[in-house]
Amino acid sequence: MAWKRFPRGNGFQMRGEIRAGVDSAFAKGRDAKAPGARPWKACIVTDDGQLLETDLAKTLGKTGHRFASLHEGKRYCTLLLMKRIGEVQGDIELHPRFECLVVRADGLRQRVGFYIADFRYTNAKGQVVVEDAKGWSGRDELYRWKKKHVEAQYGITIEEV
């Protein structure tokens, strides 16, 4: 086996050897702890429902809807298929924005932020569904607070897929 020096850690490590924790990200070829690094890949879904990584789409000259992760792009492809068979009615709204409002002591409403979901659509029963495609890493405290705030303010349920 060849020796490989990783950008972080305590020295050298053999290629193929994976230590617990941070080194598993390095073994996959990406630095999950680097500032601004994203351990997922962005993708593009074309109008005909083709899922492509961003770099490949640029190379092929394809355009479409851009998503922050492959998981979100795959969910959009699934929703497009559900629309073809009639389980989704109307349009699929991408990244709907909800304002988070609070009532001040003087009775006026004040915006304290906003929440952006991934999808909003109407199912076959006529119910409006709001979805957020989240991996385990995306469920931090701020996300949970915003989700609860929007659910209470608008009287809706946000489904995590």
pLDDT tens per residue, range 33-50:
455 555 568 999 998 889
Q: What share of the chain is helix, strand, coil (3-state, %, to 5)?
A: 30, 30, 40
The pLDDT value recorded for residue 134 is 87
The pLDDT value recorded for residue 13 is 40
First to last CA, the chain: 40
Residues of the chain with pLDDT under 50: 1-6, 8-33
| Furthest C-alpha separation in the chain | 70
Amino acid identity of residue 138, one-letter, is G
Residues 83-98 as b or e (16 or more Cβ within 10 Å = b): beeeebeeebebeeeb
Global model pTM greater than 0.85: no
**Edge-to-edge strand ranges of the sheet holding 43-45:** 51-53, 43-45, 65-67
pLDDT per residue as tens digits for the range 118-142? 999 999 999 999 999 987 766 789 9
